[in-house]
Amino acid sequence: MTWKLAVRNILGLLAVPGAYVKYLRGYDVVYFNSSALCFYGLMVKIFSPKTRVIYHVREPLLNNGWGAVIRAALRRSADYVIAISKNEMANLRVPDVPGEVAYNYVHSNEYPPQRGNSLHRRDSKVQADNFVVGYFARVDIKNGINDFLEIARRFEEDSTVAFCIYGHTGHETGQVQELIVSAGPNVHVYPMVFDVPENLGDLDLLLVPFRAPHFSRSVIEAAMLGVPSIIYDIVSVNETVKDGETGFVVPLGDVAAMGDRLAQLKANPELQARLSANARKFAIENFSERNYRQIRDAIHAQTSAQT
């Protein structure tokens, strides 16, 4: 943590008592949508110990001093925790606090299975019958952009495969910029887009070469659209794909295996169709708004009954 961030956190703590008096008094249950709000939860427990406090944890806590402080505050104030993945839940390290995993969700009606033509309309180099492979994330080494481009180089001689990168800002590091500039003619680069279903649904395959634990929203969005993904086997991400059923999971850093799975999928339309249908079904069962609300409402009802 930088000293500037430390000062901001300390100044923020000074506002906690006033926030309690103004906003948090008089409730039976208080729901915080981030573990970073744990000091407000502590204030609730100090002045209103019968109030039930729920935290929705959306990010893994850091393994440093600040993370230890937040964990201590959670242990003293949380009556229940909701985590967006099994990894985030385990990372909390608060075994005495009851909790449940409620995955991030996608509105299924806004992400219908489709194969659009947004790319084809604006980029004549991407042909209508191309097998379109996408990268949908911040363009960064930690997110595996170098691995994605290495796979693209492997398929340079195959004019039927197009690789599309979404998330380019022009402000990436020099190393990343060099990688993009040196990419072959089968690679097409786009900025972040707001019409996510239209563009993500245009893909035949999403490559997710993330090298750090990260619950990838793009994977569950793609699955809801019926687009399979290939991922590395790292925690959090590996909760979003069922290997061989909704996509493929390969060993971390095994670029060759990721490329092999891509080639296998491209050569087998029946496999594409099966993974696509399974991905949509898996997303509805695990990452839909209905599934999330059922879990959330059950937790709220259970906690309210204990007041």
Query: What is the pLDDT at residue 6?
Result: 54
Between CA 143 and CA 165 the distance in angstroms is: 12
What does the longest C-alpha to C-alpha distance in the chain come to?
Answer: 68
Question: In this predicted model, what pLDDT tens digit does every residue of 48-86 receive, in sequence order?
Answer: 999 999 999 888 888 888 889 899 999 999 999 999 999
Question: In this predicted model, what pLDDT tens digit does every residue of 220-257 receive, in sequence order?
Answer: 999 999 999 999 999 999 999 999 999 999 999 999 99
Q: What is the pTM of this model?
A: 0.87
- Residues of the chain short of pLDDT 50, as ranges, are 1, 121
Query: What is the pLDDT at residue 176?
Result: 86
Q: Give the list of residues 6+ apart from residue 51 with CB closer than 8 angstroms, or none.
A: 27, 28, 29, 30, 44, 45, 307
Query: What is the pLDDT at residue 7?
Result: 63
Between CA 299 and CA 2 the distance in angstroms is: 36
Query: What is the pLDDT at residue 59?
Result: 80
Task: Find, among 143, 180, 140, the residue nearest to 164 by Cα.
Answer: 180
Give, rounded to a whole angstrom, the gap between the first and last alpha carbons of the chain: 38
Q: How far is CA 59 from the centre of its chain?
A: 10
Between CA 231 and CA 150 the distance in angstroms is: 15
Tokens of 139: 């363009």
Task: Find, among 145, 132, 142, the residue nearest to 178 by Cα.
Answer: 145
Q: How many CB atoms are closer than 10 A to CB 34?
A: 11
**Structural domains in the chain?**
14-105+289-305 (3.40.50.2000), 108-287 (3.40.50.2000)
Between CA 86 and CA 79 the distance in angstroms is: 18
Query: What is the pLDDT at residue 1?
Result: 44
Buried-exposed string 192-219: b where 16+ CB fall within 10 A, e elsewhere: eeeebbebbbbbbbbbbbbbeebbbbbb
Tokens of 124: 């004549």
| Strands annotated E in the chain | 29-32, 52-57, 80-83, 99-101, 131-136, 161-166, 187-190, 205-208, 229-232, 247-250
